[in-house]
Amino acid sequence: MSERTQCLLKLGELIADVEIAMLTTLRRDGRLVSRPLRTVDAGRAFDGTLWFFVHASSHKADEIAANPHVNLAYASPTRNTYVSVSGRAQLVESRAKVAELWSPALELYFAGGRADRDLVLLRVDVDGAEFWDGPAGWLGQALNLASGVLTGATPLSQNRAIDLERGH
């Protein structure tokens, strides 16, 4: 298995059950702005592309059109896992892809359903990520810290950067 494939598997594993990501874009005035988006999974294996449903008339759509570089932050405090993902975003107007990725729960956000004319997909092609992953729960964290202090061993927590453009 290639190193790139291993990186994709690890990243997919880390974000698989974190439903909400904070998407950061650059506003026209140069300020960064973040907002929550629900990652669309549809039961597929992570291949380096993340999908979201958005309104074409939204500020985020305008910001992405002006500058496609984005960051997505995923956090699972219960698992003690945190992931920062960077990539290039683009709006995709494909009714076939909308139908493929649509779930009825999305009607909470898009009252017009998948036929809503303002509904588009946001595709993010991931080029890199950094993650922090450690023992879950306060007991696991305490044991991890204590073992590191007492034995001088490397903690069980893991921090790693992934560069998907270079495959590592």
Q: What is the pLDDT of residues 92-115, one digit of tens each?
A: 999 999 999 998 888 888 988 989
Dig out the tokens for 69 from the structure. 């570089």
Which position has the token pair 């927590």?
A: 157
Q: Please, which pLDDT band fits residue 136 given cuts at 50, 70 and 90?
A: low
| Short-list 96, 98, 100, CA closest to 110 | 98
Whether the Cβ atoms of residue 102 and residue 65 lie closer than 8 Å to each other: no
In a domain, 98, yes or no: yes
| C-alpha span between 111 and 74 (Å, rounded) | 26
Handedness of CA 61, 13, 165, 159 (dihedral sign): positive
| C-alpha span between 16 and 50 (Å, rounded) | 11
Q: What is the model's pTM?
A: 0.83
Domain interval for residue 44: 3-163
Residues 6+ away with beta carbon under 8 Å from 82:
73, 74, 75, 76, 131, 132, 133
Task: Tell me which H or E stretch contains 26.
Answer: strand 20-26
CATH of the domain at 42: 2.30.110.10
Q: Please, which pLDDT band fits residue 161 given cuts at 50, 70 and 90?
A: confident
Total of domains in the chain = 1
| Short-list 40, 101, 35, CA closest to 64 | 35
| C-alpha span between 8 and 40 (Å, rounded) | 17
Does residue 12 register a pLDDT over 80?
yes
Task: Tell me which H or E stretch contains 136.
Answer: none
Does residue 90 register a pLDDT over 70?
yes
Three-point CA angle 75, 163, 101, nearest 5°: 55
In a domain, 168, yes or no: no
In a domain, 118, yes or no: yes
For 62-75, write each residue's pLDDT tens digit: 999 999 999 999 99
Distance set, CA 96 to CA 99, 100, 120, 125 (Å):
5, 6, 11, 19
Q: Please, which pLDDT band fits residue 142 given cuts at 50, 70 and 90?
A: very low
